[in-house]
Amino acid sequence: MHPPRRAALGLLPLLLLLLLLPPPAPGAANKPTPCQRCRGLVDKFNQGMVDTANKNFGGGNTAWEEKTLSKYEFSEIRLLEILEGLCESSDFECNQMLEAQEEHLEAWWLQLKNEYPDLFEWFCVKTLKVCCLPGTYGPDCLECQGGSQRPCSGNGHCSGDGSRQGDGSCRCHVGYQGALCADCMDGYFSSLRNETHSFCTACDESCKTCSGPTNRDCGECEVGWVLEEDACMDVDECAAETPPCSAAQFCKNVNGSYTCEECDSSCVGCTGEGPGNCKECIPGYARELGQCADVDECSLAAKACVRKNENCYNTPGSYVCVCPDGFEETEDACVPPAEAEVTEEESPTQPPAHEDL
């Protein structure tokens, strides 16, 4: 029995709806967090203070300028000029935030600026509570691992640093490991460590672990290196009894490893790059001046093309035999046009068949 088709047909409207839905807006996945929006607004406000710092400064009358500028510096006029330049008209989220928080900014400007000179700390951290101070994280702005002064020993990033998010754990920079990013990974050694700082430096490329910067400081050699006379030395894989590459390749040793490179197209086996390192030459090539070179079969004493009037053309590794243009090709010759016509005229015609009487 065939299953009913109604269920399958019922999916069609859903599929059509999915096709008609608009694609997600570009950058939707990278939408700024509330802390990022607040910090952006504060940065623009601080820039507005810089841009208006010397406004109304005309020069000439020092006493008048000091009196006038003193009034302008803390005036509502200057505040309005700063606020007007904070958001582009097309930036909906910025304008929405500014409209909602304009009273807070006005209160800080007119009453609290001297007591709380850091607008970011007062506005984003203490008032709106969407950010934390550097070195702290999470809803309660707790200290990051390693403390707020040098989170993660200065060798990593604290999860949620400066925001109300994250868990305060450390994501270590390359070369560091451990809860506080104070320990060195394999391939690095501690070049400086005290109560407050830890620095890890890369080992020599031959070392898997090490206590210093040279190949003599290795605790263990990396793959492709071997300990010889108290130092890690490169293994020449190309010198192995069984070659690591195929018959049509040659081996090139590199530090800690090797590569297989293709032989020149004129070679049957090779020991290196180019036609001068062929073990043997392919058919149609012969060794000349120390390298495999194409044989010009058309210039040999023994003719390569044996039919009469036939032309010989050399090709890489071979040759071709071709009749000249206009010549008729036969099994044993290239016949010129005039001879071909004569041959056709002289060819005997078959006598008509006689009927029996």
Q: Distance (Å, rounded) from C-alpha 345 to C-alpha 324?
A: 23
Alpha-carbon distance of 48 to 38, in angstroms, equals 15
pLDDT of residue 287: 94
Looking up residue 331, the CATH number of its domain turns out to be 2.10.25
End position of a domain, from candidates 106, 127, 148: 127
Does 271 map to a domain? yes
Please check whether residue 38 lies inside any domain of the structure: yes
**Angstrom distance (rounded) from CA 157 to CA 155:** 7
* 57 and 111 housed in the same domain: yes
If asked whether residues 123 and 141 sit together in one domain, one would say: no
| Domain identity same for 172 and 109 | no
Pair (143, 229) in one structural domain: yes
Paired with 286 in beta bridges are 293
What CATH number has the domain bearing residue 211? 2.10.220
Of 110, 127, 144, the residue that ends a domain is: 127
Shared domain for 275 and 223, answered yes or no, is no
**161 and 190 inside one domain:** yes
Domain that holds residue 281: 249-294
Torsion-angle region of residue 311: left (phi > 0), alpha (psi -120 to 50) or beta?
Answer: beta
For 256, the token pair is: 């800690």
Tokens 């868990």 — which residue? 167
Q: How many domains does the chain have?
A: 4
Report yes or no on 87 lying in a domain.
Answer: yes
pLDDT of amino acid 93:
86
Residue 356 inside a domain? The answer is: no
CA 176 – CA 198 distance, rounded (Å): 9
Give the Cα-Cα-Cα angle 48, 52, 53 (nearest 5 degrees): 110
- Residue 351 within a domain: no
Looking at the fold, whether 226 and 257 belong to one and the same domain comes out as no
Whether residues 215 and 143 share a domain: the answer is yes
Tokens of 66: 């000091």
- Amino acid identity at 214: T
Sign of CA dihedral 53, 59, 62, 64: negative
Same domain for 63 and 119, yes or no, is yes
> Is 195 in the same domain as 255?
no
Weakly modelled stretches of the chain, pLDDT under 70: 1-29, 56-70, 339-357
Q: What whole-number distance in Å separates Cα of residue 68 and Cα of residue 54?
A: 11
Asked, for residue 28, whether it belongs to a domain, the answer is: no
**CA terminus-to-terminus distance, the chain:** 81
User: In this structure, are 256 and 271 located in the same domain?
Assistant: yes
Print the SS3 string covering the chain: CCCCCHHHHHHHHHHHHHHHCCCCCCCHHHCCCHHHHHHHHHHHHHHHHHHCCCCCCCCCCHHHHHHHHHHHHCCHHHHHHHHHCCCCCCCHHHHHHHHHHHHHHHHHHHHHCCCCCCHHHHHHHHHCCCECCCCEECCCCEECCCCCCCHHHHCEEECCCCECCCCCCEEECCCEECCCCCEECCCEEEEEECCCCEEEEECCCCEEEECCCCCCCEEEECCCEEEECCEEEECCHHHCCCCCCCCCEEEEEECCEEEEEECCCCEEEECCCCHHHEEEECCCEEEECCEEEECCHHHCCCCCCCCECCEEEEECCEEEEECCCCCEECCCEEECHHHHHHHHHHCCCCCCCCCCC
Residue 2 lies inside a defined structural domain of this protein: no
Q: Is 288 in the same domain as 311?
A: no
Look at residue 346 and tell me if it is in a domain. Answer: no
Of the candidates 127, 157, 177, which is a domain's last residue?
Answer: 127
